[in-house]
Amino acid sequence: MNKADERAAFLAALANNEDDAVTRSIFADWLDDHDEPEEADRQRKWPAAKAWLMEFCLSINDDEYAKDENGQEMWSQPPIGKKPDRPHSYKDMIEAGHGAVAREGYYFGNEDGRHAFFDGSGTRQEFFRNWSIVTGVSVPEEVIESPGFSCAC
């Protein structure tokens, strides 16, 4: 099997089960053996980065998501005085990151969860560092470090 086919096999296995730590570790070693140390490092950091993102999603939904007396899903404490239509899942936040990058300003719009980053604790920076590891989309460090949001409120 040639290098391209081996890479494709690893990527297919990870696409089938992204949380397969054994395959990811073997792939990282393979990348080192094929002179790709940066990507090997990203693959090794991937499980911790995903774990951070999952925990982040839980934290921004914690104690805010509830059901009313009829069993309908609702927010008990809407962020910034607004009621989103659903809690933020891991998938939602991955897509929010893609949307922020696509706007080339690395900002979050009103509809994609920007309220989750208003705590001033550096969460936005950690989000983009971990999001970049998980998605493989490079976000320049100077962008990660520059705080700010754009809002058309």
Domain match, 55 and 117 both = yes
What distance separates the 2 farthest-apart alpha carbons in the chain?
A: 60
**Count of all residues that appear for the chain in the document:** 153
HSE-CB for 150 with a 13 A CA cutoff: 10
For residue 64, the model assigns a pLDDT of: 46
Round to whole Å and give the CA distance between 111 and 151: 10
- Asked which of 11-15, 19-23, 74-78, 116-120 is least confident by mean pLDDT, the reply is 74-78
In whole angstroms, how far apart are CA 133 and each of 38, 65, 111? 11, 28, 24
Residue range of the domain that includes 109: 47-145
For residue 40, the model assigns a pLDDT of: 98
Q: Is 134 contained in some domain?
A: yes
Q: Is 152 contained in some domain?
A: no
Q: What is the pLDDT of residues 85-108, one digit of tens each?
A: 455 677 878 887 787 777 666 655
